[in-house]
Structure 1
């Protein structure tokens, strides 16, 4: 038996009822760093860290005194001490039996240092983001859960990076990864010491503020996060400017558990995004009602598409000099079964974020071209149709192909169609977005910028984007006769359009005085209620198409 004990790799040790070491095999000597004679006759305290000796001595005394051992036959993890004073974790399997001289306690000892290190690494991987070293979503949930379960307060701030996708697409994922690491370094510098920043997704971050239930303190932290983005990030040779929106929720007021609290912050973030970057929003209970209404509308839109409830109405674009129809803009309407005819303002934001956006956008383009072809069959070959695009159509990557195939399917020449884009698209003026519009313009398809002058698009943006038409926003036309600044803006836009070789269309003309003022300024194309609201195709045909003598093509001097 002794031969086996000394050849096994398992460390074996025995003690008597007084805790005196009576046997240790060679594996045990190697593990603990002692020679046999240095251990035999010494108490177990020799290999027990000092802080644990009292508990071990009491347990040995109980078993040595004849009480049954609760650990006999079980495996436990404890700390042990080597000869050089280093402490390490062991796994101990304990047995107790009656020997010739009384109670004997024996143990099999395994060094579990590597397993502990592995467990620590796995725990870290499970709770930390490997790229930035910040806590991950799992740890955010754990920390929030612990705070809320203990009856404490905590604020959670969620934000993502505006422009990060463009960095990855244009400069590569290595640059994007370095940018995330740079942000992980910058965040702690702008936040209070007890704030816990975390990365919970690709470009999604969170910050936990323990013991914070005051909306003012949470708002101050949100402003600090936004301040972190005011300074550019220098990554290698690139100087990158990003923005952010922040959603804020307070626990337990806005959520009694981590899932509900994070969902509240996410709702606030959604509202902050809609408000525009940079900015932040604090959660309000009404947001949940609004989100439920959006979910209901998404479901209704799905049914509406299947039931053919979406229709196009057409608003005429007029040659202001002759009064002839220059073209028509196709505008989406929803024949709701219970709410009647709905204008886009009531459902467009939901539709644009719906998985149906690409399908509906394709249908709008196809239906507008079909209607234009039908009108042309009546003898009006030069009338142009304008159709609005969704971001989903542009992001799909095959816009020029889809437009060309749609025109071919309905036998229309390219100049019969004009696609309209919003400022959001125009501002995304990287080559991926610009390429299909350049291709369409080169094929003589019109490209219009809707509502110019109301947002952030600059003149340099216009110079780079392949436009053929500017549309002056109705707000400037409305105030044209009463606000000197509005008049100056309209005059400047008309002059800029002429110098850039663009058509300029004034929207929202409602009175003859507005029309006269625009004509005097050199505007040649307009649309608005003075001429007609957007009309169903049958009524548009009756009022503007069947009267062939009043229709004509490209407005003279409109450029």
Structure 2
């Protein structure tokens, strides 16, 4: 009757406001209908695509007293549904309320940490194909929370994403990397190329290249000292914007790498149209080398694809001598993983690789 609202609130998240229903069974029927409709296959380019939905439900009044609490409560219930395996619905309750309060507190604390540039950056070495020489290093964000101690990215990146903080978070990481580069240069310890991850949220902002040049310039660091990594899935947005942003980063001097290759969705036509120079093979294909024939075949095909496109290849998740020797034999260019080092705080990274 024109009294309900449906809105996209970001990414793949939608909010549905249903007003003036009186029977709980009516809401159950609506949820069943949503799941039923979304589970229907979608045919695109002769391929059947199957989609599922995680639904969070919050009542007003009853579960909350303000409109903002209503949205946040439904979002908290949705995340709970996702953690339970997805493709289900979850009602907001007291347990979820506790989780939601913790999450909202973390979001507030993260905002303050970003405002004061308080995140940390660790570095994981990327080695040459023999695993003996340092070639570059990947910068990885970490957060030392005053009460909770060290938090892994999986614990706070989801919060940053849902709160719309990924662009600010990326800028914070880059500021730290540039400060470390400047400090190392001032100590006559020139760092190798540093690889920095860019999120989908960052590469959809046309102003990103200018921000990168500004942050680098503040420390006297050339953009050519950086390599940027983007995942396959992150380049699925507006191609005209993404293409311009990545082209401008390369024009400024940076190199580009495709991260977690083989786990996302990307057309080869899109890959060849973007200025990448490196492919990083996801660790899930490296774990069972050389025993798993399928993983061997996939890894060889990625190496072959990279050769054909004139790209270099990095294998992530290298943990054993067997991994290393097989990849060396097959012509993989660079190796990264715990066989060489876990991600290290900047002082430890400098001490291990640049001390006399």
TM-score, with length taken from structure 1:
0.54
The equivalent of 2:3 in structure 1 is 135
Change (3 A) 1:406 1:276: farther
The equivalent of 2:36 in structure 1 is 224
Matches within 5 A, 1:436-455: 436-455=245-264
The equivalent of 2:281 in structure 1 is 472
Change (3 A) 1:302 1:135: closer
Question: Which secondary structure does the structure 1 equivalent of 2:132 belong to?
Answer: coil
The equivalent of 2:147 in structure 1 is 338
Change (3 A) 1:258 1:210: farther
Shift of 1:276: 11
Deviations 1:461-495 (A, max 9, x none): 32233322211111211122332211211111111
Q: What is the alpha-carbon distance in structure 2 between the residues aligned to residue 487 and residue 253 of structure 1?
A: 56
Q: Which sits farther off after the overlay, 314-323 or 460-469?
A: 460-469
The equivalent of 1:150 in structure 2 is none
1:522 to 331, 334, 354: 331
Change (3 A) 1:368 1:163: closer
RMSD across aligned positions (CA): 3.9
Matches within 5 A, 1:405-420: 405-420=214-229
1:433 aligns with 2:239: no
Q: Which runs of 5+ in 1 are unaligned?
A: 1-127, 129-133, 138-157, 165-202, 233-240, 548-559
Shift of 1:516: 0.6
Q: Is the 8 A contact 1:159 1:244 kept in 2?
A: no
The equivalent of 1:281 in structure 2 is 89
Change (3 A) 1:330 1:257: closer
Matches within 5 A, 1:500-511: 500-511=309-320
Q: What is the alpha-carbon distance in structure 1 between the residues aligned to residue 129 and residue 64 of structure 2?
A: 62
Shift of 1:159: 6.6
Q: Is the 8 A contact 2:184 2:191 kept in 1?
A: no
Q: Which runs of 5+ in 2 are unaligned?
A: none
Change (3 A) 1:163 1:306: closer
Matches within 5 A, 1:354-373: 354=163, 356-373=165-182
Question: Which secondary structure does the structure 2 equivalent of 1:225 belong to?
Answer: helix
1:394 aligns with 2:203: yes
Shift of 1:331: 1.0
Q: What is the alpha-carbon distance in structure 2 between the residues aligned to residue 339 and residue 256 of structure 1?
A: 28
Deviations 1:36-82 (A, max 9, x none): xxxxxxxxxxxxxxxxxxxxxxxxxxxxxxxxxxxxxxxxxxxxxxx
Question: Which secondary structure does the structure 1 equivalent of 2:351 belong to?
Answer: helix
Question: Which secondary structure does the structure 1 equivalent of 2:243 belong to?
Answer: helix
1:493 aligns with 2:305: no
Matches within 5 A, 1:43-442: 134-137=2-5, 160=8, 205-206=16-17, 211-213=23-25, 217-226=29-38, 230=42, 245=53, 247=55, 249=57, 255=63, 264-269=73-78, 281-283=89-91, 285=93, 286-305=95-114, 309-321=118-130, 323-354=132-163, 356-376=165-185, 383-442=192-251
Q: What is the alpha-carbon distance in structure 2 between the residues aligned to residue 275 and residue 393 of structure 1?
A: 29
Question: Which secondary structure does the structure 2 equivalent of 1:135 belong to?
Answer: coil
Q: What is the alpha-carbon distance in structure 1 between the residues aligned to residue 150 and residue 15 of structure 2?
A: 39
Shift of 1:205: 4.4
Change (3 A) 1:317 1:210: same
Q: Is the 8 A contact 2:56 2:74 kept in 1?
A: yes
**Equivalent residues, number:** 349
Max Rg structure: 1
Change (3 A) 1:323 1:461: same
Question: Which secondary structure does the structure 1 equivalent of 2:279 belong to?
Answer: strand
Larger RCO (alpha carbons 8 Å, 6+ apart): 2
Q: Is the 8 A contact 2:139 2:177 kept in 1?
A: yes
Q: Is the 8 A contact 1:264 1:283 kept in 2?
A: no
2:292 to 472, 476, 483: 483
The equivalent of 1:13 in structure 2 is none
Shift of 1:520: 1.2
Deviations 1:333-363 (A, max 9, x none): 1122233222212212112333544333212
